[in-house]
Structures are given as structure tokens and as C-alpha cells.
């Protein structure tokens, strides 16, 4: 077995471990903090909650969630492809198992572990968002409205984000029809606050998920001016293990030519770059900027799938350039 194969297997194993951990976080946040307060959120967890309380606890959330995932995947198979379906089946199975086990435990307590509904809803949203974000950055999927969004994006120009928001909002709003012992005005008085909490939790999950994904991709760009630029560049290569691009410039005030160093690194590596520059030239002029994503060797890989015609055209164009 070659080193490249071993490395690929190790990376896949790490991804699956982190996907399972992320799904566990989601299951814990949903069953411990959201479900006991009868809050309906977006996604198939929300659909499962509607069925659970609609049947007065007869049909577990995990069962409805898993069945709906399988139905959606069957409908989407031809549109989204085999790889997406297989990856989603794994995520859907694991999340249903976690929710099934944790649902029985927390709902059997007979009361929420945090009585304050606002605090419980926010904590649940944070846990779920951390879980979903962890799953996404490790190339996983738990199914749900992801499948609906993927199908819609294949059939129309509607954005995935808009599709997911509309779908989730409709699921939460449907909680107004859950069984309630009282007249219509009492039903509104009881259900509307829970609908609002459901919307809030759904947006908290989306916000935390985006934050996790963007933080993982975020990098830092340095522009460094120093007369000791060669020493700084060498140290960055040796100690920070990052590449350096040297550009020619001119200071318009002094009319002198200068060398400009450009360095890209992960956000957590920024302190190392500062220490290297300060140690060599405390008088160096430095600018630092956050970059949402850096793609290429040593950073992230572009995961944009070209349409077949465009991909073929790009390949033939590349081949012609090589032949020249």
C-alpha cells in the first residue's frame, strides 16, 4: 500500500470520525434542549417533531426522519448522483440512531433539563449549528432539506440557501396545526410563541453553521515591507512552512525601489508570522487582512463541479496549450 493511499484512508477515517461527532452534537442539542419544549425547527427533524407531537408521542422523531430521508433520496437519486446519495445515507442513518437513543432518554425525564425556554432554545441552536458545521466541513451530510435544495438547484435557478430557508420556515409554521385542547384563540396564544422560537432556533443553527464553515476556511494575508526581506522570506519558509511571493514596488515619496513580501497562512499561524518579522526587523511595515478562502497547494481544494460541456471545453483548451 503506497503512502498516498494510506494518507487518503487516514483522512477519510478522520472525516468520518468528525462527521459522527458532529451528528452526535446535533442529536444532543435537538433532543436535550429543543424537543422537550415542543419547539418545531426546520429540516426533517422538524417534520419528525410534527409527527411525534401530532401522534402524541406514538411515532418517534427518528423513525419519521429516517423514512423521509430514504423517500427523498429515492426521488433525488437520478438528479444528485450516487456519491451524494451514499454519503447522505450514512449521515441520515447515524443521526437517526443518535436522535432515537437520546430522544428516549431526555423525553422520559418528563421535564426539560433547562426550564427557561429561551436559554434552552439558544443552547439547542448552538449545539445543532456546531454539529451541522462540523459535518459540512468534513464533507458530510445528514440529509433533510439538503436533499430538497439539491434537487431544486438541479431543476431551476433558485439558490440552495433560499430553498432551505423557505422550506424550513414552512415546516416551523405547520406547528400551528398540532393538536391542542382549546379554542382557536387559545391555540394561537399557545402556538405562536413556539413558532417564533422555532424560527429563532432555525436561524441560530444557520448562523453557527456558517460561522464554523467560514472560520475553517478563513486565512490571513500579509503584505510585508522590509529592507531585510530576504531574511524574513527565508524564515517564513523554514519555520512557518509557508510560501512567500516577492513583488517589486516603489515608494512614491522616497522614489526608491522596494521589495514587497506577500504571505498567505491559516489564521492560527498569523502569530508565527508576526514573531518572525518582529525578531528580524521590528521596524518592518506590515498589513494584515482576513481572506475568506485560499485555494491551492497547502490550503483548501476547490470543490466546484463544472458542467460536462464546460469541463470538456476546459480540458481541450488545456491540452492545446500543452501542445503549443
Digit-coded pLDDT (tens) for 104-119: 999 999 889 999 999 9
Digit-coded pLDDT (tens) for 272-319: 898 899 999 999 999 998 876 677 766 666 655 555 555 455 545 555
* Best CA proximity match to 216, nearest among 130, 157, 313: 130
pLDDT at 315: 47
Q: Are 25 and 98 in contact (CB under 8 A)?
A: no
Cα 255 from Cα 267, distance rounded (Å): 34
Digit-coded pLDDT (tens) for 54-113: 998 899 999 999 999 888 888 777 766 676 677 788 888 999 999 999 999 999 998 899
Q: Which residues contact 231 (CB under 8 A, 6 or more apart)?
A: 280, 281
Round to the nearest angstrom and report the end-to-end CA distance of the chain. 37
Cα 33 from Cα 117, distance rounded (Å): 8
Check pLDDT > 80 for residue 192: yes
- Three-class SS of residue 260? strand
Cα 253 from Cα 207, distance rounded (Å): 46
Digit-coded pLDDT (tens) for 36-45: 999 999 889 9
pLDDT at 284: 93
Cα 265 from Cα 223, distance rounded (Å): 12
Cα 62 from Cα 144, distance rounded (Å): 12
* Best CA proximity match to 273, nearest among 286, 260, 292: 286
Digit-coded pLDDT (tens) for 140-174: 777 776 676 666 656 665 555 566 778 888 999 99
Q: How many CB atoms lie within 10 A of CB 85?
A: 18
Amino acid at each position: 500500500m503506497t503512502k498516498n493511499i494510506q494518507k487518503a484512508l487516514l483522512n477519510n477515517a478522520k472525516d468520518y470520525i468528525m462527521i459522527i461527532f458532529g451528528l452526535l452534537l446535533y442529536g444532543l442539542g435537538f433532543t436535550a434542549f429543543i424537543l422537550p419544549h415542543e419547539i418545531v425547527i426546520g429540516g426533517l427533524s422538524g417534520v419528525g417533531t410534527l409527527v411525534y407531537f401530532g401522534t402524541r408521542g406514538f411515532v418517534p422523531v427518528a423513525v419519521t426522519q429516517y423514512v423521509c430521508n430514504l423517500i427523498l433520496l429515492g426521488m433525488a437519486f437520478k438528479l444528485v448522483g450516487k456519491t451524494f446519495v451514499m454519503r447522505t445515507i450514512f449521515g441520515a442513518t447515524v443521526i437517526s440512531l443518535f436522535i432515537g437513543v437520546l430522544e428516549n432518554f431526555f423525553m422520559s425525564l418528563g421535564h426539560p433539563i433547562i426550564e427557561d425556554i429561551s436559554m434552552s432554545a439558544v443552547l439547542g441552536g448552538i449545539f445543532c449549528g456546531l454539529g451541522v458545521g462540523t459535518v459540512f466541513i468534513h464533507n458530510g451530510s445528514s440529509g433533510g432539506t439538503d436533499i430538497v435544495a439539491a434537487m431544486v438547484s438541479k431543476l431551476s435557478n433558485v439558490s440552495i440557501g433560499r430553498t432551505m430557508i423557505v422550506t424550513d420556515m414552512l415546516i416551523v409554521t405547520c406547528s400551528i396545526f398540532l393538536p391542542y385542547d382549546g379554542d382557536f384563540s387559545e391555540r394561537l396564544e399557545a402556538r405562536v410563541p413556539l413558532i417564533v422560537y422555532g424560527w429563532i432556533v432555525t436561524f441560530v443553527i444557520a448562523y453557527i453553521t456558517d460561522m464554523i464553515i467560514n472560520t475553517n476556511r478563513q486565512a490571513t494575508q500579509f503584505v510585508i515591507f522590509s529592507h531585510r526581506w530576504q531574511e524574513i522570506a527565508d524564515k517564513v519558509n523554514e519555520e512557518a512552512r509557508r510560501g512567500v511571493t516577492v513583488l517589486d514596488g516603489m515608494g512614491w515619496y522616497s522614489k526608491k525601489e522596494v521589495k514587497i513580501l506577500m504571505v498567505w497562512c491559516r489564521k492560527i499561524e498569523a502569530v508565527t508570522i508576526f514573531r518572525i518579522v518582529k525578531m528580524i526587523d521590528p521596524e518592518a511595515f506590515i498589513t494584515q487582512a482576513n481572506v475568506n478562502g485560499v485555494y491551492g497547494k497547502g490550503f483548501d481544494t476547490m470543490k466546484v463541479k463544472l458542467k460536462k460541456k464546460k469541463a470538456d471545453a476546459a480540458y481541450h483548451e488545456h491540452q492545446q496549450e500543452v501542445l503549443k
